[in-house]
Amino acid sequence: MMVKKALHRLTLQGLITLASRRPTSYLIVPAEQMHYGAPPITWWIDDCLKRIEPHYYIALLSAARYWGSAHYAIQEAQVMVSRPRTTATPGKLKVTFFTKRKISGTPVVVVGSGVAPWRVSTRAATLLDLIRHQDDVGGIEAIARVAKDFSSQLDRRCG
């Protein structure tokens, strides 16, 4: 009971924020991130998901932004997981989860720069996911803009 009170008090002070309800995990909010109410998603997403969703990855427009296509200033992080999860809102951040049955077969890159490693889909996998979820990302026109940005970096070999 004392731990719950302490966590509640620290949450009210803005020093920590709830990252996920199941399993319950909290984030320490550094002073320079107080205005967001949470550290950037790439600092903590791997620690929160690697045990319960080992094949998670940053996907869709969030992955496109990582690969250099930032036509849309989306105010959320889009993450692909194997089972439905509710949207997480640590601080002012919004993490939207999308599901994919055979997630383990998706090619990803582990990004090691920054504070912690995290997983992001490759350019080609990002385009395929965008096509599958075109209604969620703004339609085929939005995907065409991303594809144009990726066109010079995609492998054109067949097979």
Please state, in angstroms and rounded to a whole number, the distance separating the CA atoms of residues 159 and 64.
24
Q: Would the pLDDT of 65 be above 60?
A: yes
Calpha distance 124→24 (Å, rounded): 34
pLDDT of residue 156: 60
Give the pLDDT of residue 159: 38
Long-range contacts of 153-159 (CB under 8 A, 24+ apart): 153/67, 153/123, 154/123, 154/124, 154/127, 155/124
Per the prediction, the chain carries an average pLDDT of 90
Closest CA to 20 of 2, 1, 47, 40: 47
- Average pLDDT on 102-115 reads 92
Q: What is the mean pLDDT of residues 7-23?
A: 89
Q: Please answer whether residues 29 and 14 qualify as being in contact, where contact means their C-beta atoms are separated by less than 8 angstroms.
A: yes
**What whole-number distance in Å separates Cα of residue 76 and Cα of residue 1?**
34
Summarize the confidence of residues 119-141 as an average pLDDT: 94
Q: Is the pLDDT of residue 158 over 90?
A: no
Read off the pLDDT band of 60 (50, 70, 90).
very high
The pLDDT-based confidence of 2 (bands split at 50, 70, 90) is: very high
Tokens of 40: 């950037």
